[in-house]
């Protein structure tokens, strides 16, 4: 009997690989203790929705972890990992330009100064290794620079009216006069980019990157207004270099992702935006692994209404439904009604809060509690194995 364990991270507690291991340990213990008639095999496939955790999912599916020293969101050097398999690379933006890299957290100053240069430099590191298909997983970014930093990291120069290069960050774009692409990495011409993102916001306006995501990065209302105007200037000047597609890309779904990095990826790199979970499930090969599985276990920290909009558990549940395999979800907590759980395709949803009502304890002891839930699933599998009945976990 084979079980596929394909969870996302439990944010603030465990990475996706750690979640998978704890569930597998508990499942195996419960299966063996209950005297199953069959032997148990577990296949661990950590997954993500294109944001933080995408790198772990790539490494878990056979990519090789590499690292490079790049420019952090405030200009300091950081060591950032990425993943390579053949001519493919997976770049997790948060590793180079993430909010978590701000030493003192977000503020009104970092909202205007944080940049995405390091993400561009990670792409160049992947190009150096021969990669020509780049999956750019965005999420958790510190910047609101429209992806201007991304382009700087790839060799572009952003100049003011006196021909001086602008300092990094979205705020400085208000003084942008020209963009010099003469130094842009020529290897980009024969490279393909996928923007893995569930964000469908445009770059500008009330639904744009500064208005919707800027406050999460420390932007005040005045900062939001200034950043929106600065990014509008970026679009205008970029249009002088690349034509009408600069303005069209600003309206494209996903242009507002990661402080506007989605915009630069679409406008300049020709990136195709795809739902993050679809991209991750594709490179992990989940569908093939489901072919002879008896059960799938998925999950994430909070299984709620937002999960229903295309987060990891829903993507796994869809794949399991197509394969005709029952699916169980584990989570830290859930706000879904029984009807919502059933409609989502889950045979069962097992939250840590069913074992421990104190959320802080659940966060702190997530591994131990997950093993207990895994043991329950293993006992249920063992009962089905003994009777040779259809799984009804």
| Residue 393: strand, helix, or coil | coil
Burial grade of 309 (CB within 10 A; 0-12, 13-18, 19 or more): exposed
| Residue 311 banded pLDDT, cuts 50, 70, 90 | confident
Determine which helix (DSSP H) or strand (DSSP E) holds 346, and give its type and residue range.
strand 346-351
| Residue 304 banded pLDDT, cuts 50, 70, 90 | confident
| Residue 35 banded pLDDT, cuts 50, 70, 90 | confident
Q: Is the confidence at residue 370, as pLDDT, over 50?
A: yes
Q: Is the confidence at residue 16, as pLDDT, over 50?
A: yes
Q: What whole-number distance in Å separates Cα of residue 248 and Cα of residue 254?
A: 12
Instruction: Give 244's Cβ-side CA count (13 Å radius).
Output: 0
pLDDT at 388: 59
Q: What whole-number distance in Å separates Cα of residue 280 and Cα of residue 58?
A: 8
- Which residue would you say has higher pLDDT here, 345 or 77? 77
CA 221 to chain centre: 27
Q: For 278-296, give one letter per residue: b (16+ CB within 10 A) or e.
A: bbbbebbebeebbeebbbb
List of domains in the chain: 2-45+285-387 (3.40.50.10350), 54-276 (3.90.1510.10)
pLDDT at 306: 81
Q: What whole-number distance in Å separates Cα of residue 246 and Cα of residue 263?
A: 9
- Which residue would you say has higher pLDDT here, 51 or 178? 178
Q: What whole-number distance in Å separates Cα of residue 290 and Cα of residue 356?
A: 32
Q: How far apart are the first and last CA of the chain?
A: 14
- Which two tokens mark 348? 């069962």
pLDDT at 175: 98
| Contacts with 210 (C-beta within 8 Å, 6 or more apart), sequence order | 144, 170, 204, 219, 223, 224, 225, 227, 228, 231
Instruction: Give 135's Cβ-side CA count (13 Å radius).
Output: 31
**Tens of pLDDT along 66-96?**
999 999 999 999 999 999 999 999 999 999 9
- Which two tokens mark 4? 């596929």
Q: Is the confidence at residue 310, as pLDDT, over 80?
A: no
User: CA angle 82-87-88, nearest 5°?
Assistant: 45
| Contacts with 90 (C-beta within 8 Å, 6 or more apart), sequence order | 54, 55, 58, 63, 82, 83, 84, 135, 137, 283
**Tens of pLDDT along 141-154?**
999 999 999 999 99
Taking residues 113-118, what's their average pLDDT? Answer: 98
**Tens of pLDDT along 236-295?**
999 999 999 999 999 999 999 999 999 999 999 999 999 999 999 999 999 999 999 999
pLDDT at 390: 47
Taking residues 154-162, what's their average pLDDT? Answer: 98
- The alpha helices in 12-53, defined as continuous H runs, are 16-33
**Tens of pLDDT along 53-69?**
899 999 988 999 999 99
- The backbone region for 88, taken as left when phi is positive above 0, alpha when psi lies in -120 to 50, beta otherwise, is beta
> Which segment of 21-30, 320-329, 339-348 scores lowest on mean pLDDT?
339-348
| Residue 360 banded pLDDT, cuts 50, 70, 90 | very high
**Tens of pLDDT along 171-220?**
999 999 999 999 999 999 999 999 999 889 999 999 999 999 999 999 99
> Which segment of 33-42, 321-330, 344-353 scores lowest on mean pLDDT?
33-42
Task: Say what percent of the chain tops pLDDT 70.
Answer: 98
């Amino acid at each position: 009997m084979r079980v596929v364990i394909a969870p996302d991270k439990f944010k603030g507690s465990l990475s996706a690989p750690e979640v998978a291991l704890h569930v597998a340990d508990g499942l195996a213990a419960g299966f063996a203790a209950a005297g199953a008639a069959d032997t148990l095999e577990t296949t661990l496939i950590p997954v993500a929705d294109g944001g933080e955790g995408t790198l772990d999912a790539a490494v878990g599916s056979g990519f090789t972890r590499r690292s490079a020293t790049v420019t952090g969101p405030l200009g300091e050097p950081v060591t950032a990992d990425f993943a390579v398999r053949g001519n493919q690379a997976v770049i997790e933006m948060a590793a180079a330009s993430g909010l978590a890299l701000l030493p003192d957290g977000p503020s009104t100053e970092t909202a205007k100064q944080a940049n995405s240069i390091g993400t561009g430099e990670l792409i160049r590191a992947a190009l150096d290794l021969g990669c020509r298909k780049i999956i750019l997983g965005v999420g958790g970014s510190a910047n609101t620079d429209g992806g201007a930093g991304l382009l700087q990291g790839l060799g572009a120069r952003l100049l003011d009216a006196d021909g001086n290069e602008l300092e990094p960050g979205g705020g400085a774009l208000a003084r942008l006069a020209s963009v010099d692409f003469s130094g842009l990495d020529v290897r980009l011409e024969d490279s393909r980019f996928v923007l893995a993102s569930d964000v469908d916001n445009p770059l500008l306006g009330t639904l744009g990157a500064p208005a919707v995501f800027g406050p999460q990065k420390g932007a005040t209302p005045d900062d939001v207004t200034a950043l929106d105007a600065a990014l509008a200037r970026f679009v205008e000047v970029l249009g002088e270099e690349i034509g009408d597609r600069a303005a069209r890309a600003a309206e494209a779904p996903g242009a507002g992702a990661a402080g506007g990095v989605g915009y630069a990826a679409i406008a300049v790199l020709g990136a195709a935006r795809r739902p993050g979970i679809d991209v991750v499930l594709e490179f992990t090969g989940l569908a093939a692994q489901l072919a002879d599985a008896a059960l799938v276990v998925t999950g994430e920290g909070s299984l709620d209404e937002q999960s229903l909009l295309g987060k990891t558990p829903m993507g796994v549940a869809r794949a399991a439904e197509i394969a005709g395999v029952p699916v169980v979800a584990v989570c830290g907590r859930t706000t879904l009604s029984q009807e919502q759980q059933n409609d989502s395709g889950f045979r069962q949803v097992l939250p840590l809060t069913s074992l421990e009502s104190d959320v802080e304890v659940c966060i702190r002891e997530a591994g131990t509690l997950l093993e207990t839930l895994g043991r329950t699933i293993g006992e249920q599998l063992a009962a089905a194995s003994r009777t040779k009945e259809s799984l009804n976990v």
